[in-house]
Chains A and B, each alone.
Chain A
Amino acid sequence: MEKFIDNLIRQFESGALGRREFCQMLGIATAVYAAGGAEANAAPASRGFKGLGVNHVSYVCADYTKARDFYSTMFGMQVVNDKGKGRANLAFGPAPDKGGNFLVVHNPGANPPKPSEAVIDHVAYTVSNWDEGKVRGALKARGFDAPTGRNGSLHVYDPYDYDIQICNAVEENAFRREGR
């Protein structure tokens, strides 16, 4: 922690970090330290990086408010940093500064992304305490009468026809694939 704060002071001294940012970073450091994040972050990787997981999914659509309202009301994602300027963060999972994920929904920017040969064709989300009847009932109540997939792993489309999968830990777990 001392090394981290020493680096922050250095950035403050050089002008790379303002007073407000300095204090915010210390606030985050306090929260991370409380969560045991220092230990988790300290795990070494011999080459490359130790990947901890997804930080965020950057999702672009014609009207971010439509996506914002869908994901927040449908899946309980928390709206953060929505300044009415074409983007919002939708937080879920652990607290934002303790390993939580977020979906950034935003309108197209002035500089569209360069074409890629790859595409993220869907994003799957884990629902904890999965109850098949309640999940299907909740989907039906929101107009999703016939999700595809199977028990424990269902697909629906969002308002922009983007494929969403919701699932439980039994049906969707990478280690189920071992030995297949």
Chain B
Amino acid sequence: MESFYAAKIDAFAKGKISRRALLETLTAAVTTTAAVATPASAAAPDPALKIALVNHISYNCPDFRKAADWYSKVFNLDQIGASKIDVALPFGKRGEKPFGVTANDVPLTSIIIRTRDLNAPAQGGTEPRRKSRALVEHMGYTVADFDREKAKVELKALGVENVRDGGLYSLHMTDAFGYDVQISGIANNALTDGA
């Protein structure tokens, strides 16, 4: 299909078809091709341990309420089940499925925002949590209707700091605790990122 698109854009560039004709032809091609497209085949799975989706990100910071308010404000997320040390922010409402998921046993992804002692044992353990030699240096989140220039304006209006371009398809910023956050639409994905 991409060769068809290439032929049309070449014809437009050479003045053989008008801009309006190009727009109408491509719109019709995308929507009608999509109507008969078949799903991509799944990657070879590990039968017992195959990952379906991120369940949650465990984000630890000095003041979980402040961070939760930042993420609620920027991503329109509800805060669920606040305790003295943490709160969960799911990407959606009760009963909704994660974006792109059809299975019934894959819950919405959440950010669990915490203020806790990282030297304490991990859940159910007795030994202190190990000191990791790896780092999750930033998190990328997908948002609806991403338009980079409009997003910059919106982020500025929200008071978000250190907003900067992240290539054609995304923006980076820092959250309430200086953590690097990236936002994009689904055009930024495993196939396009780093391609």
Contacts and interface: CB of A to CB of B under 8 A. Distances in A.
A93 B101 contact: yes
Given A41-B186, A55-B183, 7 more contacts: A32-B186, A41-B145, A52-B91, A54-B109, A118-B60, A165-B123, A167-B55
Interface in A1-46: 1-2, 5-7, 9, 12, 16-17, 19, 21-35, 37, 40-43, 45-46
A34 B142 CA distance: 19
Interface of B: 1-2, 5-6, 9-10, 12-13, 19, 22-23, 26-27, 29-31, 33-35, 37, 39-40, 43-62, 67, 73-77, 80-81, 83, 88-91, 94, 98-101, 103, 105-110, 112, 114, 118, 121-125, 129-147, 151, 154, 158, 168, 174-175, 177-180, 182-195
A interface SS class: mixed
A17 to B, nearest CB: 8
Contact of A178 (B81, B122, B129, B158): B81
Interface residues of A, number: 123
A61 B144 CA distance: 31
A56 B154 CA distance: 22
Contact of B51 (A58, A60, A92): A92
A95 B39 contact: yes
Which 6 A-B pairs give the minimum distances between C-beta atoms?
A: A99-B100, A177-B81, A51-B75, A94-B100, A160-B134, A55-B140
Contacts of A78: 43, 190
A84 to B, nearest CB: 12
B134 A158 contact: yes
Contacts of A56: 139-140, 182, 188, 190, 193
